[in-house]
Structure 1
Amino acid sequence: SQLLERDPDLTPKHMKYVRIINRSGEHLLALINDILDMAKIESGRMTLNRAPFTPYGLLKDLQSLFNTLAEAKSLSLTIEHDDELRVTTLLGDEGKLRQVLVNLVGNGLKFTHKGGVNIRLRTETASGGASEDDRALLLSVEVEDSGVGISPEQIELIFAPFQQSDSGKKAGGTGLGLTISRKFVEMMGGTLTCESELGKGSCFRFRIPVERVQDVSPRPSQPGKRVLGLQPGSGRPLILVADDDDTSRGLVTELLAEAGFDCAEAANGLQAVESCSSRAPDAVLMDMNMPVLDGYEATRMIKGGGRRGVPVIALTADAFARDAVAACGADEYLRKPFVADELFAALRKVLGVEYVYEDVSRGEAAGGERGTENGGPGSLKTIDLSMIPENLLRDLHGAVEDGDVYLIRELIRSISTVDEKAGEELLLLAERYDYERLLEIANNEGGLSDGE
């Protein structure tokens, strides 16, 4: 579905179906990953990955990620931080910290209908005062919202696996997000707590130990952006794709070729070793479970046979294989199933390549030609609302303001029974999470056909 979504020749109707498949797959993948994370935590196999990161960059990523949703619901999303955090580099597990913050901010926006969400970050010395070693710090984090709140008897319940508050059950979700967040905070050396009052909102807070380090200028991430291809002048790096599954190998090869990489293929570990011997690729994507010679042994042979400098990215569905992957000499690890962005990020890490990106954080469609400004599908200028009852538009406006995804889709289905074409266009916007335009349409601001 990720490959199909990049196809510029898809009709709006087929694009709609592809996006539904993709969103459903992403939801299922998120659920599977949550369950795998819980299994790794409970088995003691989850580890900390401490590396330099910039907390200010993390905050800007969060702002970019959630601004559209906040604006669509007419909510404020504010960030407060120490001035020094703009130029401070810390040593810690940015990935786990990011996952905790994404979950807390996402929940805050989901359950808030008036007011907003406030994120606060500050640092203090680990001793609480002057410290002989000013590298040892505590990172203090608060996420406060003015939402529906949680009753006292349900506060501890929300941290239990698959348990949700009454409002959480109505909003959907896996019931694992806060459980994993608390576990991650504990792994990082802190405790996630919650203060809440029904009808007034909630505040989640924690403190974790970090270290101040010299600025190593970590590469900025690209939140809300999709890779279109390699930057001009990058050449065409050769990637060897080793996977015994013809379908998986073909899909990855097609994805890479579309982005500007050259590809070679191997159907087992022995073919991968032989291919590297005859012509060294710039990188290898190595499935670890293959016949004839598995990926672990193939990686050892490649690294030990004069190709030590060729980076190998291990691909495996085994959630507990990270240690074995590292032991065989692989440079990077991707857990199957992975998404395109993760694959491109791994190649960027091992090869140092840079990409041209398409900004999709504001709901722009694949390929660019399906944007909503120039009369394409979903354009305000081409949606005729003359047949739609005013009460349906009012209800749609309220559902979008509340961020009620299920009600939005139900109302669009009702609109489709009156005007199928208008319903299809509105559903396309809903699939893009383009709530800002849905609000404009529901307000009947420009939602008229060209002929009126």
Structure 2
Amino acid sequence: MKRKLPALLPSLMYKKNQRLPDLRGLRTMTTNNTHGVAASPVTMTEEELQASAIRYRCLFPSIEDGILILNAQSGMIEDVNPALTALLGYSREALLEKFLWDIGSFRHVVSDRAGLLDLQSRKYICYDDVPLETADGAVMYVEFISHVYPDAEVQVIQCNIRSMTAHRRGAEQTEEAISQRTLELIRARDAAESANKAKSQFLANMSHELRTPLNAILGFSSMMRRDPLITESQRENLNIINSSGAHLLSLINEVLDMAKIDVGGLQLETAPFDLGGMLRDVTEMMQLRAHEKGLQLLLYQTSVFPRYIQGYEERLRQVLVKLVDNALKFTERGGVTIRFGVKQNARQHMVIEIEDSGVGIGTEDRKRLFEPFVHMAEGGGQQGAGLSLAISRQLIELMGGSIVVESTPEKGSLFRIELPMELAKAEDVFKSENQGEVEGLAPGQPSYRILIAEDRRDNRLLLSRLMTNIGLDVKVAENGEQCVELFQSWHPDLIWMDRRMPVLDGVETTRCIRRLPEGRAVKIVAVTASVTSEQHQEMLAAGVDDCVSKPYRFKQIYDSLARQLGITYRYAEAGEAAGAALKPAMLARLPSGLRIELRDALIRLDSDRIAAAIRQISDIDADLGRTLSGLTENFDYPAILNVLRERGSEN
């Protein structure tokens, strides 16, 4: 006996957004149906029918998703599996032979017969996050999939229902975890910013406390050793004080440079300069060191390498001197080669290579080479690199470039620098002939009034003498409040404003003056030991016209006066100017050993040895000693080395 059966489909577990499989073979045999398309019913034998019914009874109750079999014509619920009754909290009897829209749980899906017709017409529907009410009134969110299976006798709609509550809870937990992690990151960022602010404040305080007394030490020692009335012994003592102070300042500056780089407070100043001249100076400074060790120091540059560029001359010089010095230090045979070339990327770059044939650097040491405060282990390659190489890398990166190292132990190392390059014109580089020291105001200058606001007596005295020495009228204030009062009563042309003062600091004092009548006309120059760009910007924002950092050179003070007031000066005659007066013939009376000692000390940048050599020279020729002291005070070592080289060529 054979007959046709309706297509009643129990579902297996399904994947999201995937059509339900056509499994009518559980009740009827089907033909080639693998894509969810309703198949035509086929005739089954009684035995096949019984086998299909057994499969249905076994599989339907065991499926984990809720299954609802709906009569497609009437909307009557014909069958539900245990998973659905457990999900909704209804008994099986409470659901069977009910219209789907009579069950409150499903009113969001099918609310009437029109909704049933929509299910029929669309054949396959998948909804996410459908709200269903359980028997006890609780709301859960489910994934609802309906699939229409037409049959010759009866059409059925199979509905699969899977709870999304756990998924939503997991998503909520994930969102909560993300929010918590975000909060932790924000707190960590705030803590890091707070630490950086504390570090920056410590840096500012330390800078002020160290650089302010150094300003007085270097300033007064420089002023006193120029006095023609002091004895040679006194001048020798002053030279020791000055050179020791300069050495201390260089150490402080190196530590502060690293700290400023760390907090992002180091500002580089760019200007046109003679790159070819700077390279020649560096090479010549290092030649004697190379000759002493029996090494070659070679300089190669391509024919297209420019001579004049816009850049950071002093910082680039600092990096090159350190790299060449290290290369010579760790090379015992062969030599060091410096190469300069040009590379065209998106923009033009200069390429600088310093290659040596020295001991080389091991792989592990190369990884730590540019870390601050790290020294290579004994026998482990480049030793004593420490802070200077860390600063060198940071400076190169601040210039917009990069530095890398290649090395093979026992064969040598190569440091390669690439820097973006901007050309400059020769006329931008050449400056007026070197002038002598400022002796006073040029004839016909008006009488200027200068107010000095400074809480430290030694710095007030130093700045006052610099003003009175050139014929300017001076008054001093010990704090910001006195400064405001003197401004109102005396009406100065320019105010030297210290940043840190009692009662009112320099920032608030400047703001007060700018708010007063005539307060916009006075020139205000900040004189501060602060090193952070933030504090300089704060002073500029308060209304100062210029900033001079302590310890300052006298030339910086006089140059600022000239910029702000249009002052012109009377200079020492060219023959009296340091550098202009230095000639090879002046070294003729010096013993050759003393000339060699001075040259070696200059090349090694050893301030103690330089001062000692100049003291010995002063005993032989006091005028020559003063000339050399003036050059070394301005760190014009190349001028002395050039004269020493010319003197050597005369012999």
> Is the TM-score greater than 0.5?
yes
SS in 1 for 2:496: strand
Shift of 1:250: 0.5
Shift of 1:24: 1.5
| Aligned amino acid, residue 296 of structure 1 | V
TM-score by length of structure 1 reads 0.65
The alignment status of 1:319 with 2:531, answered yes or no, reads: yes
Q: Spell out, residue by residue over 1:141-177, the C-alpha distance to the aligned partner (whole angstroms, 9 max, x if none).
A: 415365857534544544222345689xxx9999433
Q: Is the 8 A contact 2:602 2:641 kept in 1?
A: no
> In 1, Cα distance between the equivalents of 2:431 and 2:263?
31
Shift of 1:100: 3.3
| Aligned amino acid, residue 589 of structure 2 | K
Q: Is the 8 A contact 1:72 1:439 kept in 2?
A: no
Partner of 2:318: 102
Partner of 1:381: 589
Partner of 2:186: none
Residues 174 and 287 of structure 1: CA distance in aligned 2, closer, same or farther (over 3 Å)? farther
Greater RCO between the two (CA within 8 Å, min separation 6)?
Answer: 1
Residue among 232, 236, 241 paired with 2:452? 241
Larger Rg: 2
Shift of 1:246: 1.4
What CA RMSD, in Å, does the superposition of the two structures yield over aligned residues?
5.3
The 5-angstrom pairing of residues 114-125 of structure 1 reads 118=338, 120=340, 122=342, 124=344
> In 1, Cα distance between the equivalents of 2:417 and 2:452?
43
Q: Is the 8 A contact 1:269 1:293 kept in 2?
A: yes
Shift of 1:325: 1.7
Q: Spell out, residue by residue over 1:337-393, the C-alpha distance to the aligned partner (whole angstroms, 9 max, x if none).
A: 334344345445545656648999x9869xx7x99956xxxx54276x9xxxxxxx5
Partner of 1:130: none
Partner of 2:175: none
SS in 2 for 1:275: helix
Partner of 1:390: none
The alignment status of 1:160 with 2:371, answered yes or no, reads: yes
The alignment status of 1:144 with 2:354, answered yes or no, reads: yes
Q: Is the 8 A contact 2:401 2:417 kept in 1?
A: yes
SS in 2 for 1:176: helix
Residues 3 and 191 of structure 1: CA distance in aligned 2, closer, same or farther (over 3 Å)? same
TM-score by length of structure 2 reads 0.48
Q: Spell out, residue by residue over 1:112-132, the C-alpha distance to the aligned partner (whole angstroms, 9 max, x if none).
A: 4997774736474x52xxxxx
| Aligned amino acid, residue 481 of structure 2 | L
Aligned length: 398
Partner of 1:131: none
The alignment status of 1:251 with 2:462, answered yes or no, reads: yes
Residues 163 and 331 of structure 1: CA distance in aligned 2, closer, same or farther (over 3 Å)? farther
Partner of 2:545: 331
> In 1, Cα distance between the equivalents of 2:302 and 2:522?
42
SS in 2 for 1:239: strand
Partner of 1:34: 254
Q: Is the 8 A contact 1:318 1:335 kept in 2?
A: yes
> In 2, Cα distance between the equivalents of 1:212 and 1:287?
38
> In 2, Cα distance between the equivalents of 1:109 and 1:437?
22
SS in 1 for 2:274: helix
The alignment status of 1:57 with 2:271, answered yes or no, reads: no
Residues 256 and 202 of structure 1: CA distance in aligned 2, closer, same or farther (over 3 Å)? farther
> In 2, Cα distance between the equivalents of 1:28 and 1:337?
12
The 5-angstrom pairing of residues 263-282 of structure 1 reads 263-282=474-493
> In 2, Cα distance between the equivalents of 1:179 and 1:359?
42
Shift of 1:296: 0.8
Q: Tell me, which stretches of 5 or more residues in structure 2 are unaligned?
A: 1-220
SS in 1 for 2:589: helix
Residues 18 and 57 of structure 1: CA distance in aligned 2, closer, same or farther (over 3 Å)? same
> In 1, Cα distance between the equivalents of 2:383 and 2:559?
30
Identity percentage of aligned residues: 27
Q: Spell out, residue by residue over 1:15-46, the C-alpha distance to the aligned partner (whole angstroms, 9 max, x if none).
A: 23222221221121121122222222222333
SS in 2 for 1:381: coil
SS in 1 for 2:416: strand
The alignment status of 1:400 with 2:600, answered yes or no, reads: yes
Q: Is the 8 A contact 1:82 1:122 kept in 2?
A: no
Structure 1, 142-151 or 73-82: larger mean CA deviation: 73-82
Q: Tell me, which stretches of 5 or more residues in structure 1 are unaligned?
A: 128-136, 386-392, 414-419, 447-452
Shift of 1:421: 7.3
| Aligned amino acid, residue 336 of structure 1 | K
SS in 2 for 1:343: helix
Q: Is the 8 A contact 2:406 2:415 kept in 1?
A: yes
> In 2, Cα distance between the equivalents of 1:313 and 1:325?
9
Structure 1, 286-295 or 141-150: larger mean CA deviation: 141-150
The alignment status of 1:183 with 2:394, answered yes or no, reads: yes
Q: Is the 8 A contact 1:334 1:343 kept in 2?
A: yes
